[in-house]
Every structure is written in structure tokens, then in C-alpha cells.
Structure 1
Amino acid sequence: MKFFIDNWFLFFTAIVSGGLLLWPLLGRGGGAGRVTPAQAVQLINREKAVLIDVSEPAEYAGAHVTGSKNVPLGSLDGSGDLPKNKTLPVVLVCPSGTRAVRAAATLKKLGFEKPHVLAGGLAAWREANLPIEKSA
């Protein structure tokens, strides 16, 4: 007990550092991870991930990731455009990445096992010089 009292700051430091190491795992919204554009491309190529853009239709028409499907955030619950296989990875995209986080939580509730959020959204995809298209 004397050792604990004399070295309380070491125990405190160990507990705080352990908490900081666990924080990213707890803050992922139940397993939905953020992926970089390069990691998203790997998921698409290796695991046949599906790209879902949760932007509003007007935003999607302005610019979107090539090959993505537009399913606005508000219509995720009843959408028929989501993959039937809920074990496939799903990469969620929006202009900045904030709506995609909410969409990932919704997909988790719907039973999807691997929702991923594109960190930085469409802006990060564009910055990585990956293909973007515009709707007519």
C-alpha cells in the first residue's frame, strides 16, 4: 500500500495513457471506421466495397465519386439502393464527411456489418486526385 501511495502519479499516468489508447476505439460509433481515400480504393478493389454518397441530389449532381450511388441521408432507412448483402463493406461519402458519420450509425442500426466513412469526404477524394464525375 505504501508503494501505491508513494507512486500514485505513476498509476494515474498509466490509467490516463491506457484511456487515451482506447479512446479511438470507443469513438468509432460502434465499429464504423474512418478510411482514407487510398484505404477506400483498397476496400473497393479487394473486398468489393460499395460506395454510397449520402449527399442531397443537387450536391450529388454537382460532383460525386465515380461509381458511387446516391442515397440521401434522410432516405437511408427505406432505400432499395443499399446492398442486399449486409456483410459487404460500405464506404459512405458526403462533401465533408460529417453526414457520412451519421449515415454509418444508421447503417449499423440496419444491420450492416462494415460501414466505413471516407475521412474528409469528397474533398479528400478530390485532393487525392481520384476520379470524380458530374451528372448531366
Structure 2
Amino acid sequence: MSNVQDAIVNAKDKLPNVTPTPPGFHPEASVHELKSRLLWGEPGLSIIDVRDHDAYNQCRIRGAMNMPMDRLPGGAEFSLQKDRDIYVYGANSGDTSQAVQMLREAGFRRVAELKGGLEAWREIDGPLEGVDSMDDPGPDAYNVFARLQAFNEEKAKEKRMK
């Protein structure tokens, strides 16, 4: 990340919560950060699940793309821009780190390890999809005011955890 981008991210993280702003990008991202960005409605990110196809079909973070380790980095180079924000999770932290390293070596500049992976995502009730998940988005899923409230609640939780 450039010095200017670092300064912007640091400034955003320190701003008072007068007007909600999405969290900045960090190379090691918490599940709260990703969930906040999704609640904010940011379209400029991708989530990559590097587990095998069967595990992906059973349960995954809603909206995640399946790109098993043996398809990296070629699959990403074919379908993603090099400057896109990418969040990666695997079956364990070792797989996640290895996949992130492969993508960075292939020239992807904004790749984040999703700390805790799918288990941490489940702990914060992040939206899931797949055979094993029966996730209902709820009645307020398309209500902008409710989404902003949920975003602010997630930011407050994240601040308490720091």
C-alpha cells in the first residue's frame, strides 16, 4: 500500500462515528471488517474460498467464489483485476496464508487474510450459503436504514474487541 493510501486508511479508522464510513482495507482482516464492508454495500471486493469444491458446496461465506489452491493464481488472474480488494479464507490458517502469498506473488496488490476464516465468520453470525446453511437474510435485508444501524453496531463491536 502506498503512503497516501496508508494515511487515508489510518485517518478513516480514527474518524468519529458521525457519518458512517466503511472500514479501510487491511492485509490481515478481521471478520468484523469484512462484515462491515458487506453491510455498507461495497461492491469493490471479492471473497475467495480456497477449500476444495465439496467443502465450498457444503457451506461458505455468502458471495464467496471457489478457487481451490490448485487453481491459484491462474483462476484469479483470469477473473479478477490486480488492484481489487480480495479477502481469502481456507480450511485452516496455513492454507489461507499460502493462498494469500501465491496471489501477492502473482501481482495482486490488495489481498487480505481473513483471520479465523469460516469459523470466525459463523461466530459473528455472518451470512452463509450452501447445502448446510439455511440462512435467511431477514425482513430488513433491503432496508437501507436498518443496514446502516447494523453497520454501526458492527463497528461498535469491532472497537470493543481492539
The TM-score bracket by the shorter chain reads 0.5 to 0.7
Match of 1:118 in 2: 114
Larger radius of gyration: 1
Match of 1:13 in 2: none
Say whether residues 1:69 and 2:65 are aligned partners.
yes
Cα separation, 1, equivalents of 2:79 and 2:86: 8
Aligned with 2:75: secondary structure? coil
Match of 1:94 in 2: 90
Cα separation, 2, equivalents of 1:53 and 1:110: 17
Cα separation, 2, equivalents of 1:89 and 1:34: 12
Question: What aligned pairs does 1:29-108 form with structure 2 within 5 A after superposition?
Answer: 33-44=27-38, 45-46=41-42, 48-79=44-75, 83-108=79-104
Cα separation, 1, equivalents of 2:51 and 2:77: 14
CA contact (8 A) 1:47 1:88 kept: no
CA contact (8 A) 2:84 2:110 kept: yes
Aligned with 1:79: secondary structure? helix
Give me the CA root mean square deviation.
2.2
Q: What is the identity percentage for the equivalent residue pairs of Structure 1 and Structure 2?
A: 23
Segments ≥4 residues shifted beyond 6 Å: none
Cα separation, 1, equivalents of 2:45 and 2:101: 17
TM-score normalised by L of structure 1: 0.68
Aligned pair count reads 105
TM-score normalised by L of structure 2: 0.58
Match of 2:18 in 1: none
Cα separation, 1, equivalents of 2:122 and 2:77: 24
Shift of residue 80, structure 1, vs aligned partner: 5.6
